[in-house]
């Protein structure tokens, strides 16, 4: 938050590839604070970036300061730890 404290929230991520139409659905949620972002794109990286940008905008509206890279790093950590659906 802008007061210098650090808040921690659960991050839920779901990535689904559809072979029939060649797209990826990226869904990111932080349920404790009502953040939700869903994108559909033929390029996974672009879909992740779009979802991260949505999350950044929603968090900014709530007074939090984060970057796209902060969100992408959190998603990457979830993947690495096997927490992704």
CATH assignment at residue 70: 3.30.160
> What is the predicted pLDDT for the residue at 27?
95
Nearest to 39 by CA among 23, 56, 61: 23
Q: What is the pTM of this model?
A: 0.85
> What is the predicted pLDDT for the residue at 9?
85
- In a domain, residue 34? The reply is yes
Divide the 85 residues of the chain into consecutive groups of 10 and give the mean pLDDT of each group. 68 90 94 96 96 97 95 87 65
- In a domain, residue 7? The reply is no
Number of domains in the chain: 1
- In a domain, residue 35? The reply is yes
Domain that holds residue 43: 12-75
- In a domain, residue 21? The reply is yes
- In a domain, residue 32? The reply is yes
What is the rounded CA–CA span in Å between residue 28 and residue 47?
A: 11
- In a domain, residue 16? The reply is yes
């Amino acid at each position: 938050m802008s007061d210098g404290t650090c808040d921690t929230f659960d991050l839920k991520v779901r990535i689904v590839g559809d072979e029939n139409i060649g797209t990826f659905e990226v869904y990111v949620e932080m349920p404790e604070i009502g953040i939700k972002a869903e994108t559909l794109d033929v390029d996974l990286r672009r879909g992740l970036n779009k979802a991260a940008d949505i999350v950044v905008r929603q968090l900014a509206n709530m007074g939090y300061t984060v970057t796209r890279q902060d969100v992408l790093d959190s998603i990457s950590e979830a993947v690495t730890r096997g927490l992704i659906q």
